[in-house]
Amino acid sequence: MTTSELPLVKALNAGLKKALADDAKVLLMGEDIGPLGGVFRVTEGLQAEFGDRRVFDTPLAESGIVGTAIGLAMRGYRPVCEIQFDGFIFPAFDQITSQLAKMTSRHEGLISMPVVIRVPYGGHIGAVEHHMESPEAYFAHTPGLRVVSPSTPNDAYWMIQEAIASNDPVMFFEPKSRYWHKGPVDFEASASPLHSSRVVRTGTEVTLVGHGAMVNVLLQAAELAASEGTSVEVIDLRSLSPIDYAPIIASVQKTGRVVVASEAPGFTSISSEIAATITERAFYSLEAPVLRVTAFDTPFPPAKLETVYLPDADRILEAVDRALAY
């Protein structure tokens, strides 16, 4: 079968399996990714198939994981690191931003860094502190890193392979709340370019922009808006650095109104960057200010408050109404 219904976690597993089979230089490394298959079972069965020299457990030391991956990349390998949870990435922050991101530039292009760092991120799983965060803006702000986030199983399958094939370091943010949601995966179709955004629902009155798990929330809001007679267009960013602005600007020129949404806090965020860029490039097409709907500018709260903290369809619709009121 060329197409199959898979949850996002299984689509990632299939993409990693294909990359391992296609290139003997691809290695998977991280905490508990071997026999256990990772906390979320993304790597389940891969060590049994490819051996413990290509899929292997590491010590509980994120800085050591990334530092080792840098050395492996310098020797011609393509390491894929798993950071077990989003909040655990910060011990590796120096290695990522000071070394991995700058190594190619420091050597005037003579050394490439084909390293992928997989990061399960975001909320809606009822977890404890440091297990539900959205730190993607830190890395999108860092020159030398590519930052992407799939929202569907099909994108997960293709984008992880494209990320591994890249000669630049890629931060691969996986929306963990979507891991178990199924969608079609076309194993034969040509992949969309890794750094391309995509219109996933067409509309004429308001443009909604988001990434990762937020795309599903935007689609829910668009459906509710349609039931009230409002036509909403939804754009999945897919790539956070670089951002493909062409579909976004084209949509703004059509609708004149934009709402940018994210699970991350709004201050100095990716949402802020998108709002500023739309204002610069499409000012005369705007009928209303670019509005942002984000998490609040506080640390992620206890799990029982996450539904208050994270944007939902109602908050998106409230912003749509405000945009239409101008």
**Per-residue pLDDT tens for 251-292?**
999 999 999 999 999 999 999 999 999 999 999 999 999 999
Residue 131 identity: H
- pLDDT, greater one: 48 or 3: 48
Cβ 145 vs Cβ 96: under 8 Å: yes
| DSSP track, 124-174 | SS---TTSS---HHHHHTSTT-EEE---SHHHHHHHHHHHHH-SS-EEEEE
pLDDT average, residue stretch 91-101: 96
Topology of the domain comprising 198-325: Rossmann fold (3.40.50)
Is the pLDDT confidence value at 129 over 90?
A: no
User: Model confidence over 297-326: pLDDT tens digits?
Assistant: 999 998 889 999 999 999 999 999 999 999
pLDDT for position 191: 81
pLDDT number for residue 1 = 59
- Catalytic residue among 124, 131, 195, 211, which? 131
8 A C-beta contact, residue 38 and residue 119: no
Q: Give catalytic status of residue 131 as yes or no.
A: yes
| Tokens standing for residue 143 | 């020159």
| pLDDT number for residue 160 | 98
Over residues 21-41, mean pLDDT? 97
| pLDDT of 66 higher than 80 | yes
Give the three-state DSSP class for 11: helix
- 301 φ/ψ angles, rounded to the nearest 5 degrees: -80, 175
List the alpha helices (DSSP H) in the chain.
Answer: 8-22, 46-50, 62-74, 93-94, 103-106, 136-140, 153-165, 214-227, 246-255, 270-282, 306-309, 313-325
Overall average pLDDT of the 124-142 stretch: 89
The chain-wide mean pLDDT, for the chain, equals 96
Do 3-186 and 198-325 show the same overall fold? yes
Spans of all domains in the chain: 3-186, 198-325
Fold held by 3-186: Rossmann fold (3.40.50)
Please provide residue 184's backbone torsions phi and psi, each rounded to the nearest 5 degrees: -70, 140
pLDDT tens-digit profile of 179-194? 999 999 999 988 889 9
Cα–Cα distance, 162 to 239 (Å, whole number): 12
Nearest Cα to Cα of residue 156 among 216, 85, 238: 238
What would the pLDDT profile of 223-235 be if each residue is shown by its tens digit?
Answer: 999 999 999 999 9
